[in-house]
């Protein structure tokens, strides 16, 4: 009897130990592996908003641990850009492209900070919409082109500009879309190849039709196509043009409210998929034809973040309260994939959350984790495959408490840029750690680019290149 009792106790202790170990494994975050993204990460090209597939990641950049724009430490060059633009720089090897809108009244200020008012800016002066090409190594202006001049047909938000859309390039063409309604395609030497008038791009408040905020979606290039999402107060549409000639390939009308996100393309077993974020539905289209493949309801009334893809999932977010969803959609989704009110997953959606989606910044998927950045500087880390929340921490401090730019990452670090002009470097992975802070001396609402060993910042008045003295990025 005594031996049986001792055996029973030993077995019980063993089972308790196994259970505790299982619980401990459940609590322990999965290991990070940011090198898994090396195949899509930028090296010498950052061709559109947030780089390839809007992933916002780079590798082999060797950016300096410390830099100071006031002292010039780590600053490779600083080039003045006239006017006002929230568009982001893009890079193709030795060339950097950026757009701007120059007001004849000399207006170059925005109203930054956390505020709920959605007024339009009082700026009806004549504008000059321009595309600049800079030398990546020196910052020297190689050429500039005036795409259009005139009074803006639509007012902008007080935190917006008349040049919000980021250009796109494939190394042969540069495509720029302006709030004037003009879509312009140039070659790499600045020769105008073609242009299209897309009409009045009137995007604004969903509940006040006369309140104008300015257009924000950026063009993307895929194969031989330029694709543009135009969600407006009326007659929204999605369209594709042949990049060599400007000939329209397809156009799809959309029953949608205004939105400001940029579409994303990913490869699937059923062919290339174009993912478009918007209010009535998030939609997946066949990229080559514009045919609808799936749609997903229950989104915020104002949508800004761009969809991103990884881990065989499509991550789509929006953050206008009260609905602030995060969706992880499977690549093989088809049909109406909307969730019921009490569901957080179905056969098409791996996981979702009804709260936590960011309002303005596009999330970043890096290694095994998905990171969302709120306008208030709250960075939240999730396991990408499961949606399990790992941490929720504040990365802003002092006056740097409002964020519009989307986070970017390189070589195990995430860079977040506050509107007030402070870049914070954060260690990637399940443990939150601020590595450094870098004041840049000007407000900054544009998402940085990283390529060719440079972190490129578009600030109030400049493009600034941060990098090591020796540029040995592959």
Percent of the chain residues past pLDDT 70, beyond the cut: 93
Model confidence band, residue 472 (pLDDT cutoffs 50, 70, 90): low
Give the residue-averaged pLDDT of 334-338.
Answer: 98
> 7 or 434: which carries more pLDDT confidence?
434
Confirm whether 168 is domain-assigned. Answer: yes
Give pLDDT, residue 433.
97
Q: What phi-psi label fits residue 216: left (phi over 0), alpha (psi between -120 and 50 degrees) or beta? A: alpha
Confirm whether 14 is domain-assigned. Answer: no
Q: In this model, does residue 10 exceed pLDDT 60?
A: no
Model confidence band, residue 116 (pLDDT cutoffs 50, 70, 90): confident
Q: Count Cα atoms within 13 angstroms, Cβ side, for 147.
A: 31
- Nearest Cα neighbor of 160 from 209, 212, 199 is 212
The model's pLDDT over 449-471, given as tens digits with 9 standing for 90+, comes to 999 999 999 999 999 999 987 66
Which of these ranges, 24-28, 85-89, 312-316, has the smallest mean pLDDT?
24-28
Locate 185 and state its tokens: 């395609």
Q: Are strands 168-169 and 264-266 parallel, antiparallel or unpaired?
A: unpaired
Confirm whether 421 is domain-assigned. Answer: yes
Distance of CA 39 to the CA centre of its chain: 19
Give pLDDT, residue 165.
98
Confirm whether 109 is domain-assigned. Answer: yes
Confirm whether 19 is domain-assigned. Answer: no
The model's pLDDT over 53-70, given as tens digits with 9 standing for 90+, comes to 999 999 999 999 999 888
Confirm whether 153 is domain-assigned. Answer: yes
Q: Mean pLDDT in the chain?
A: 93
Give the residue-averaged pLDDT of 240-246.
Answer: 98
- φ, ψ of residue 294 to 5 degrees: the values are -155, 165
DSSP string of 128-193, one letter each residue: EEEEEEEETTT--EEEEEEEEEE--SS--BTT--S--SPPEE-SSEEEEE-TTSEEEEEETTS-EE
Give pLDDT, residue 19.
42
Confirm whether 342 is domain-assigned. Answer: yes
Model confidence band, residue 241 (pLDDT cutoffs 50, 70, 90): very high
Give the residue-averaged pLDDT of 293-318.
Answer: 97
Give the residue-averaged pLDDT of 368-375.
Answer: 98
Domain that holds residue 398: 28-466
CATH number at residue 444: 2.130.10.10
> 12 or 245: which carries more pLDDT confidence?
245
- Nearest Cα neighbor of 441 from 113, 72, 158, 162 is 72
Q: Are strands 45-46 and 90-92 parallel, antiparallel or unpaired?
A: antiparallel
The model's pLDDT over 168-208, given as tens digits with 9 standing for 90+, comes to 999 999 999 999 899 999 999 999 999 999 999 999 999 89
The model's pLDDT over 21-35, given as tens digits with 9 standing for 90+, comes to 444 445 678 888 888
Residue 81 CB neighbour total at 10 angstroms? 22
Give pLDDT, residue 117.
77
Confirm whether 80 is domain-assigned. Answer: yes
Model confidence band, residue 283 (pLDDT cutoffs 50, 70, 90): very high
Q: Count of domains in the chain?
A: 1
Partners of 349 in the β-ladder: 329
Model confidence band, residue 6 (pLDDT cutoffs 50, 70, 90): very low
């Amino acid at each position: 009897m005594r031996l049986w009792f001792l055996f029973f106790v030993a077995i019980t202790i063993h089972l308790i130990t196994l259970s505790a170990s299982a619980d401990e494994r459940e609590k322990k975050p999965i290991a990070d592996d940011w090198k898994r993204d090396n195949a899509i990460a930028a090296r010498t090209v950052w061709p559109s908003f947030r780089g390839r597939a809007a992933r916002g990641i780079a590798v082999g950049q060797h950016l300096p641990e410390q830099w100071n724009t006031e002292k010039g430490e780590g600053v490779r060059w600083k080039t003045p850009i006239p006017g006002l633009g929230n568009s982001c720089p893009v890079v193709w090897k030795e060339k950097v492209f950026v757009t701007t809108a120059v007001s004849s009244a000399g207006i170059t200020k925005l109203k930054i900070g956390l505020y709920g008012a959605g007024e339009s800016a009082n700026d009806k002066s004549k504008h000059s919409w321009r595309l600049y090409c800079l030398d990546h190594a020196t910052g020297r202006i190689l050429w500039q082109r005036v795409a259009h001049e005139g009074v803006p047909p639509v007012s902008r938000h007080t935190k917006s500009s008349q040049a919000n859309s980021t250009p796109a390039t494939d190394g042969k063409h540069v495509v720029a879309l302006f709030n004037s309604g003009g879509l312009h395609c140039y070659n790499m030497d600045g020769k105008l190849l073609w242009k299209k008038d897309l009409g009045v791009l009137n995007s604004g408040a969903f509940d006040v039709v006369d309140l104008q905020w300015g257009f924000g979606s950026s063009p993307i290039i895929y194969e031989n196509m330029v694709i543009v999402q135009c969600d407006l107060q009326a007659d929204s549409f999605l369209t594709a043009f042949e990049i060599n000639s400007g000939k329209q390939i397809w156009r799809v009308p959309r029953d949608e409210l205004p939105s400001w996100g940029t579409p994303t393309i990913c490869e699937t077993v059923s062919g290339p998929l174009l993912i478009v974020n918007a209010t009535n539905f998030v939609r997946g289209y066949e990229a080559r034809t514009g045919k609808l493949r799936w749609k997903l309801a229950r989104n915020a009334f104002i949508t800004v973040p761009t969809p991103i893809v990884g881990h065989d999932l499509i991550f789509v977010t929006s953050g206008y309260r009260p609905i602030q969803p995060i969706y992880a959609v499977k690549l093989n989704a088809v049909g109406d994939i909307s969730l019921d009110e009490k569901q957080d997953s179905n056969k098409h959606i791996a996981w979702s959350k009804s709260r936590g989606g960011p309002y303005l910044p596009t999330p970043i998927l890096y290694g095994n984790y998905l990171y969302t950045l709120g306008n208030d500087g709250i960075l939240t880390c999730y396991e990408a495959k499961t949606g399990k929340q790992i941490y929720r921490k504040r990365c802003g401090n002092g006056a740097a408490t409002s964020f519009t730019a989307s986070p970017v990452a390189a070589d195990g670090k995430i860079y977040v840029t506050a509107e007030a002009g402070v870049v914070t470097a954060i260690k990637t992975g399940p443990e939150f750690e601020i590595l450094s802070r870098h004041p840049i001396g000007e407000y900054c609402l544009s998402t940085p680019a990283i390529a060719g060993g440079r972190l490129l910042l578009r600030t109030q008045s400049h493009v600034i290149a941060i990098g090591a003295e020796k540029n040995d990025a592959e």
